[in-house]
Amino acid sequence: GYDAAAKAAILASIAFHTRVTADDVYREGMTKVSAADFASARALGCTIKLLAICERLVDGEGQERVSARVYPALV
């Protein structure tokens, strides 16, 4: 997940014209994904891959922030 988080930080920084570091990215790696999880995914015709999502969010007061996260997802 560290490599994906670093890449997500670079892409978010470029896309949103703000500094995002790898430490700013919420990260979950594949270590908690079991062989049974992969077998279940295969049975559904899917697999599990790391997914990176970067987005600009606006709170109720109009303040903007960038959210970046990397985690295992069924695809």
Arithmetic mean of pLDDT, 17-21: 96
Domain region containing 65: 2-74
Of the pLDDT bands very low, low, confident and very high (cuts 50, 70, 90), residue 1 is confident
Q: What percent of the chain has pLDDT over 70?
A: 100
Catalytic residue among 2, 3, 5, 7: 7
- pTM for the whole structure: 0.82
- Residue 26: pLDDT above 90? yes
Number of domain units in the chain = 1
Query: Which whole number is the average pLDDT over 20-45?
Result: 96
Q: Tell me whether residue 32 is one of the annotated catalytic residues.
A: no
Rounded Cα gap, residues 5 and 21, in angstroms: 9
CATH code: domain of residue 16 = 3.30.360.10
DSSP letter (8 states) at residue 25: S
Average pLDDT score, the chain: 96
